Amino acid sequence: MSRFKAHTVLPGFNLALGFTVLYLSLIVLIPLSSLFFKTAELGFGGFWDVVTSDRVVASLRVTFVTSFIAAGINAFFGIIVAWVLIRYTFPGKRIIDALVDLPFALPTAVAGITLATIYAPNGLIGQYFAAHDIKIAYTPIGIVVALTFIGLPFVVRTVQPVLVDVEAEVEEAAASLGAGRWDVFRRIIFPAIFPAVLAGFAMALARAIGEYGSVIFIAGNMPYISEIAPLLIVAKLEQYDYAGATAIAIAMLVISFALLLFINGLQWWSSRKGGR
Amino acid sequence: MSAQHIKRRISTQESPLVTVTLIAIALVFMALFLVLPLVTVFIEAFAKGWDLYWTALKEPVAWEAIKLTFIAAGIAVPANLVFGVSAAWAIAKFDFKGKSLLITLIDLPFAVSPVVSGLVFVLLFGAQGWFGHWLQAHDIRLIFAVPGIVLATIFVTFPFIARQLIPLMQAQGKEEEEAAVSLGASGWQTFWRVTLPNIKWGLLYGVILCNARAMGEFGAVSVVSGHIRGLTNTMPLHVEILYNEYNFVAAFSVASLLALLAVVTLIVKSTVEWQAKRSGDILH
């Protein structure tokens, strides 16, 4: 006998689930499904032509390469920041810890114009690079800077709780067996935090791929060089090429959804491995 | 014994040199990517003095943008709050089929680019959209108008409160509510007197994050707004227009209000985290 819902004395199931499914459908599912219907108008051939055109391929490449580099930078520095915040004490630590979430709280447009100002050839930091003939703003390097800012909290916040849980006894045992600190980190701590690092990396990557607001001000938006895929969607919309815009959106959505599945798979894998 | 103790402590710590180096790397990275941008917003805003700062903020168009931002957040946050509570009630207090699929679907807006979040509403309600003809025939404007901005804002902030409440209420279980109901409390009484006090920190946490995103959203709102000054411009969109007109002082003046909002968000968030830790709640 299979029933949809197990018995309980609590009321409100039908109302709560009914409203949840209705609201989810109206706000998220029906609007998102319009993407697939719009692309269906193009047919597979038309869809393929759009997403394999030179400019679209170039924008997807720029988007994914810069997102990967930024997520990698965040993974590396995220481990160090999380480590320092958990293991050491120093003045101002609580403020620094709170500040990690700034990219979640600061509107992306504000981040965009600020980073563009700082890294412009006459900007606070940009001028030192400009003196060595390196341009940061208005090049793909600028995109990486913006995406690094946007993705900064993810790895720190996924690694912190795991780092707290690494048991001191294991580290002590390793040390008493003659392992140096680097060995302990490499053999014991890193494998423990690795799933969290990967999850944080994937989240930062997913966020970076879709990012628009902070990038467009600093990117320079040169077709084939520093034009990101979300900007190309907006460009196509402004030319009333709705089907073309949708085709690019579908390509991005499929990749993002694959990443979401990947993250969930990683969490499942790491929780199984950790036995929690 | 004490010598052994000292030895053990040292063997699980890094040398002072490594410690200082790691702290220095972390602080320089944070200073470069977080502190410097935050400070720069205010430096640029006041670059030409207080007078120009106030002039930029006193502009009627700036006021309209501020008003619209508050309207959008004022509708999106309560709507997603009601949704979050009802989704968490259904998911945490009952067992049913398809629960994990439902949880995954709730997270979906986080996986969608902000630009695409705006695009879907253009496809539905735009002139060439599914409902485009019907809306035009009845003289209703959703896209390039305030309702579109509100819808896009609701979409991008959709998961925030639900994903705070679901794990929190799942961890709390349902014994307390079941006890209240078997003692004769009604469903609403149980919710207001038992559930709500238990989830208040998680709820507040979700509301703060939801509000910050709602007020700061750029990409999705940009696609549906049409950038009509004084009518469909939110604060982030107003910042963009001013910046693209090379009116940097005015752009950073409006941006400084948003940066202030971010700072207040971080302070309230830390306070809530501290309170939640005291009462043993989990926050995500």
Nearest to A17 among B90, B187, B266 (CB): B90
Interchain contact, A234 vs B223, CB within 8 Å: yes
Residue A262 domain boundaries: 42-273
pLDDT digits (tens, 9 = 90+) for A32-56: 999 988 888 888 899 999 999 999 9
The CA distance from B199 to the nearest CA of chain A, in Å, is 17
Tell whether A33 and A148 lie within a shared domain. Answer: no
- CA dist., res. A246 & res. A229, Å (int): 12
User: How close, in Å, is residue B172 to chain A by CA atoms?
Assistant: 15
Shortest Cα distance from B49 to chain A (angstroms)? 18
Percent of chain A past pLDDT 70, that is, above it, reads 93
CB atoms within 10 A of CB A14: 11
Q: For residues A7 and A50, state if they share a domain.
A: no
- The alpha carbon torsion through B41, B42, B47, B48 (nearest 10 deg) reads 120
Q: How far apart are CA A182 and CA B262, in angstroms?
A: 38
Report residue A274's pLDDT band, with 50, 70 and 90 as the boundaries.
Answer: low
Q: Are residues A30 and A156 in the same domain?
A: no
pLDDT at position A191, please?
Answer: 85
Assign B96 to helix, strand or coil.
Answer: strand
Average pLDDT, chain A: 89
The CATH number of residue A92's host domain is: 1.10.3720.10
Q: Which residues of B touch A206 (CB under 8 A)?
A: 110-111
pLDDT values of chain B reduced to their tens digit, one per residue, 284 residues: 444 444 445 567 788 899 999 999 999 999 999 999 999 999 999 999 999 999 999 999 999 999 999 999 999 999 999 999 999 999 999 999 889 899 989 988 988 899 999 999 999 998 888 888 888 888 888 888 999 999 999 999 999 999 999 999 998 888 999 999 999 998 899 999 999 999 999 999 999 999 999 999 999 999 998 777 777 899 999 999 999 999 999 999 999 999 999 999 999 999 998 888 887 776 76
**Would you say residue A249 has pLDDT above 70?**
yes
Give the residue with greater pLDDT, A25 vs B279. Answer: A25
Within 8 A of B263 by CB-CB distance, chain A residues are: 105
Q: How far is B89 from chain A, CA to nearest CA, in Å?
A: 7
Quote the ipTM score.
Answer: 0.90
- Tokens 């709500």, located at residue: B196
Q: Is B167 exposed, middle or buried (0-12, 13-18, 19+ CB in 10 A)?
A: middle
Q: Quick check: B90 and A20 CB within 8 A?
A: yes
| Same-domain pairing of A218 and A143 | yes
Residues A178 and A137 both lie in one domain: yes
A89 touches chain B (CB under 8 A): no
User: What is the domain count for chain A?
Assistant: 2
Query: Do residues A64 and A97 share a domain?
Result: yes
Q: Are B1 and B9 in contact (CB under 8 A)?
A: no
**pLDDT given at position A126:** 92
Secondary structure letter of residue A5 according to DSSP: B
pLDDT of residue A23: 96
Report the C-alpha gap between B243 and A48 in whole angstroms.
37
Do A96 and A180 sit in the same domain of this protein? yes
> Are residues A143 and A31 part of one domain?
no
- Maximum alpha-carbon separation in chain A: 76
A271 shares contact with chain B (CB less than 8 Å): no
Determine the Cα–Cα distance for residues A145 and A124; give it in Å rounded to an integer.
14
The pLDDT value recorded for residue A171 is 85
Q: Which two tokens stand for residue A121?
A: 């050839």
**Residues of chain A positioned with their CB less than 8 A from the CB of B183:** none
Is residue A260's pLDDT more than 80?
Answer: no
DSSP secondary structure code for residue B32 in this structure: I
**Distance of alpha carbon A199 from alpha carbon A128, whole angstroms:** 35
A33, A94, A102, A129, best to mutate vs chain B, most B CBs in 10 Å = A102
pLDDT range class, residue A5, cuts 50, 70, 90: low
Give Cβ neighbours of residue B229 (< 8 Å, ≥ 6 apart): B61, B64, B241
pLDDT, residue A1, reads 40
pLDDT tens per residue across span A195-205? 889 889 988 99
Q: What is the mean pLDDT of the segment spanning A87-111? A: 93
Across the interface, do A108 and B216 touch by the CB < 8 Å criterion?
A: yes
Q: What is the pTM of this model?
A: 0.90
- Which of A107-121, A245-259, B23-37 has the lowest average pLDDT? A245-259
In a shared domain, residues A6 and A82: no
- Residue A123 — φ and ψ, nearest 5°? -80, 175
| Same domain flag for A77 and A176 | yes
A61 & A176 share domain: yes
Going from the C-alpha of A9 to that of each of A19, B84, B135, B187, the distances in angstroms are 20, 22, 45, 10
How far apart, in whole angstroms, are the C-alpha atoms of residue B161 and residue B207? Answer: 6
Higher pLDDT among residues A132 and A9, named by residue: A132
**CB-based contact B119 A8, cutoff 8 Å:** no
Cβ atoms of B53 and B242 within 8 Å: the answer is no
Cβ neighbours of A182 (radius 10 Å): 10
Q: What is the pLDDT of residue B2?
A: 47
φ and ψ of B247, to 5 deg = -90, 70
Q: For residues A139 and A218, what is the distance between their CA atoms, to the nearest angstrom? A: 8
* A210-245: pLDDT as tens digits: 999 999 999 988 899 999 999 999 999 888 889 999
Over the Cα atoms of chain A, what is R_g?
23
Give the residues across from A5 on adjacent strands: B96
Is pLDDT at A96 greater than 90 in this prediction?
yes
Same domain, A85 and A32: no
